[in-house]
Structure 1
Amino acid sequence: MAFQLLLAEFNQQLAEAGYADLRPIHGLTFQALGRRGATSSELAERLGVSKQAAGQIVDDLERRGYLRREPHPAGGRRKLVTPTDRAQEHLAVAGRVLHRLEAELADRMGARGEELTAMRGYLARLIREMAPEGPPPLRPVW
């Protein structure tokens, strides 16, 4: 429930910042591509979706100016999908929104710095317990 509430507020603030056309899967796509980009097949693997689903996401975001397809440096028929400046700007805004939400939440709860540090520590321990080999990549699982 806390995740859903935070995600709803995050989406609302991103919409108010001019990104009403994007959803969490889009931000995960930008993160999965990184600055260097990836092929659609690599993106599908990183997101844990089918190649067809990744292709649809890329087609949609390319039409809207968030991604571009370029010739792959290794040549051949493959294309390299890279985020545009617009996608990078979205990630920067999303990061600021997330940090601001965390600060607002701390203020509303009256949480002190050490309480937030402890909470982060507990969550990190939970991740280590559930995934001892290291956290898996972020994937859209909702």
Structure 2
Amino acid sequence: MARDQPAWYEDIVVPALLRHARGTYAAAMRRALDEAGYDDIPENGLYVIGGLAGDASDVPLGRLVQELRISKQAAGQLVDTLVTRGYLTREGDPVDRRKLVITLTERGLDAADVQGAARDRIDADLHARIGDSGLRALKRGLAALVEIGRKDREST
């Protein structure tokens, strides 16, 4: 590339870059899961399995619905699918019988490990390309976007 030409990404809007960057992770995780025999996880299932694996405690279904920003019906169908396919268990909350708590099964934990390893490979490649300071700056920028989104949701 000539010095006077901008980098390929300079003229691309941030939402498009974010979409494609997210796609890099999703494709790597999906490919790794498929190769390991976990080819029956629905699209939002990656988020659920990855999120549950990163959480130290059981997750209430209501929180899952809120984080996915999908309807309760869609979340229920997603959980039903993941339960049927052996990735999750669903039980009543012992404290509040109106709530359901979902947890990963052994199959779900194994899939989460595969998914996490694929994410780690992308993270390592990214770190090799942009270094510590670049990664900190990227995270700072993404966190700012998250905070903007939270502020906007709170004001509506």
Task: Tell me the TM-score normalized by structure 1.
Answer: 0.71
The counterpart of 1:87, out of the listed 108, 125, 128, is: 108
Q: Residue 29 of structure 2 aligns with which residue?
A: 10
CA contact (8 A) 1:32 1:47 kept: no
Q: Residue 139 of structure 1 aligns with which residue?
A: none
Q: Which runs of 5+ in 1 are unaligned?
A: 137-142
CA contact (8 A) 2:91 2:101 kept: yes
Letter in 2 for 1:22: I
Distance 1:80 1:89 in 2: 20
CA deviation after TM superposition for structure 1 residue 62, in Å: 0.6
Q: Residue 16 of structure 2 aligns with which residue?
A: none
Letter in 2 for 1:92: D
Distance verdict in 2 for CA 1:84–1:122, change over 3 Å: same
- The reply to whether residue 22 of structure 1 matches residue 37 of structure 2 is no
Letter in 2 for 1:83: L
Distance 1:42 1:6 in 2: 23
% same residue: 31
Distance verdict in 2 for CA 1:123–1:71, change over 3 Å: same
Distance 2:25 2:97 in 1: 43
SS at match of 1:80: strand
User: 1:51-98 deviations in whole A, cap 9, x for unaligned?
Assistant: 111100111011011111223111534332222122122112211122
Q: Which runs of 5+ in 2 are unaligned?
A: 1-19, 151-156
Q: Residue 48 of structure 1 aligns with which residue?
A: 69
SS at match of 1:82: strand
Distance 1:42 1:79 in 2: 10
Distance 2:121 2:103 in 1: 28
The counterpart of 1:121, out of the listed 136, 142, 154, is: 136
CA contact (8 A) 1:44 1:51 kept: yes
CA deviation after TM superposition for structure 1 residue 23, in Å: 4.4
Task: Tell me the TM-score normalized by structure 2.
Answer: 0.66
Structure ID, larger Rg? 2
Alignment of 1:25-40 (within 5 A): 25-33=44-52, 34-40=55-61
The worse-fitting range, judged by mean Cα deviation, of 9-18 and 49-58 is: 9-18
